[in-house]
Amino acid sequence: MEKYSSQIIPHNEVEMLKAADYIRKGKLVAFPTETVYGLGANALDSAAASLVFKTKERPMNDPLIVHVDSFESAMKLLDIDENLKEIYKMLTDKYWPGPLTIVAKANDDIVPSVITASTGFVGIRCPDNEIAQELIRRSGLPIAAPSANKFGHVSPTKPTHVLSDFAHNDVLIIDGGPCSFGIESTVAKLFQESPAKYLIHIFRKGGVSEESLNETIGGSELGKRTSIRVEARQQIAPNMSTKEALAEDAKPKEAPGMMLKHYSPRIDTFIIKCKPEKGLLKDAALIDFARIHEHTKDEVKWYKDLSEKGDVKEAIGNIYEYLRQAEASPGIKQILLINMNSQEVISKITLFKEHLDALYDRMLRAAAGRVI
């Protein structure tokens, strides 16, 4: 039997004390959140944060999200004025604990520049998971934690996914079972656009929708002076090569999750615009939705449906697991993903349509923007 350097530990008091001690000593602990498993380190220790980058093989231009247990803990890490604090409080009152990461000006005296990728801004969230909250409390520290996978690979929603990517690294993995939501948080940057106006800039779509954010801030006087902008890279431009598009990923990022190629299996992956041609199906895995391509089930090597009943939240809970299953299946040479942005798919959605953009974003990045 193969020996692993990393290990999965059960969630109990003895092991949680050990995990908290790991964090305080500058070591790495993978822990569950409601979104995906995070690879955690002491957010106030630049050496510990650097170890996250090294272990994940993550480029230094991609900042880390810091996890805290309260609004008050977040404020200690920020340098923002009273109006921004008021907007920040509106958002945290509504969405924390939960899948919203808020990026704001960092307190440079406390937050290491390696965390912010030298941008001067830090993304913070409060996870809606008892184990994550307990680890933060027991360690007594904010915890920097990107997803607990090798950089660019499919995100982990189970402890075994983490072990698969970090088997030969020194990572303590807390077993919290499957993640309850299953894709990463919404990332929104909060800043002052002009003397009288404020902006919430959504860099990554996730568990909190643009519509919900508008409803939350719209009722107050300050909220009426706050606008929302969305940045979403939809696909490779027709006149841009894949090489050129991926070169964009090397530029400094204002927030995590902005790389075009991200959340990707280790074999070629594509989004299919319509009915797949027979030549594409040989040696392929097909990930479907609402049984739209079920008629091709016997023509592919491997077939899964994200949600036969058209539930987007169920699809979100399955997407990363199915991508990992597909890449590990013998004989698979390419993965074909249904186009979740098509009118045919949209017409089949029965539940949680507000999360469709976030799901499509992950699938598009898994395919590195390649639509065929």
Terminal Cα-to-Cα distance of the chain (whole angstroms): 42
Q: What's the Cα-to-Cα distance from 321 to each of 183, 224, 245, 324, rounded to whole Å?
A: 11, 41, 27, 5
Q: Which 8-state DSSP code applies to residue 78?
A: B
Label residue 239 by pLDDT band (50, 70, 90): very low
**Predicted local confidence at residue 238, as pLDDT:** 41
Residue 271: how many other CB atoms lie within 10 Å: 24
Which residues share a beta bridge with 286? 303, 336
Ranges of beta strands (E only) in the chain are: 7-9, 28-31, 38-42, 65-67, 100-105, 121-125, 143-144, 171-174, 186-194, 197-204, 226-230, 268-272, 284-288, 302-305, 334-338
Q: Provide the 3-class DSSP secondary structure of residue 36.
A: coil
**Predicted local confidence at residue 232, as pLDDT:** 54
**Predicted local confidence at residue 237, as pLDDT:** 45
Q: Which of 70-74, 226-230, 267-271, 309-313 has the lowest mean pLDDT?
A: 226-230
Q: With 70 as the cut, is the pLDDT of residue 233 above it?
A: no
Q: With 90 as the cut, is the pLDDT of residue 372 above it?
A: no
What's the pLDDT tens digit per position in 170-220? 999 999 999 999 999 999 999 998 888 999 999 999 999 999 999 999 878
**Predicted local confidence at residue 243, as pLDDT:** 59
Residue 58: how many other CB atoms lie within 10 Å: 20
Q: Which helix (H) or strand (E) holds 357?
A: helix 356-366
What mean pLDDT is reported for the chain? 91
Q: With 90 as the cut, is the pLDDT of residue 342 above it?
A: yes
**Predicted local confidence at residue 240, as pLDDT:** 47
**Spatial CA neighbour of 101 closest among 177, 233, 213:** 213
Q: What is the Cα–Cα distance from 110 to 210, expressed in whole angstroms?
A: 31
What's the pLDDT tens digit per position in 132-152? 999 999 999 999 999 999 999
Q: Quick one: average pLDDT of 44-73?
A: 97
Q: With 60 as the cut, is the pLDDT of residue 38 above it?
A: yes
Q: Quick one: average pLDDT of 229-239?
A: 58
Label residue 262 by pLDDT band (50, 70, 90): confident
Q: What percent of the chain has pLDDT over 90?
A: 83
Label residue 278 by pLDDT band (50, 70, 90): confident
**Predicted local confidence at residue 4, as pLDDT:** 60
**Predicted local confidence at residue 81, as pLDDT:** 94
Label residue 246 by pLDDT band (50, 70, 90): low
Q: What's the Cα-to-Cα distance from 284 to each of 269, 281, 294, 327, 344, rounded to whole Å?
A: 10, 5, 14, 10, 22
Q: Quick one: average pLDDT of 8-36?
A: 98
Spatial CB neighbours of 260, under 8 Å, sequence gap ≥ 6: 233, 236, 245, 246, 248, 249, 365, 368, 369
And the tokens for 232? 């979403």
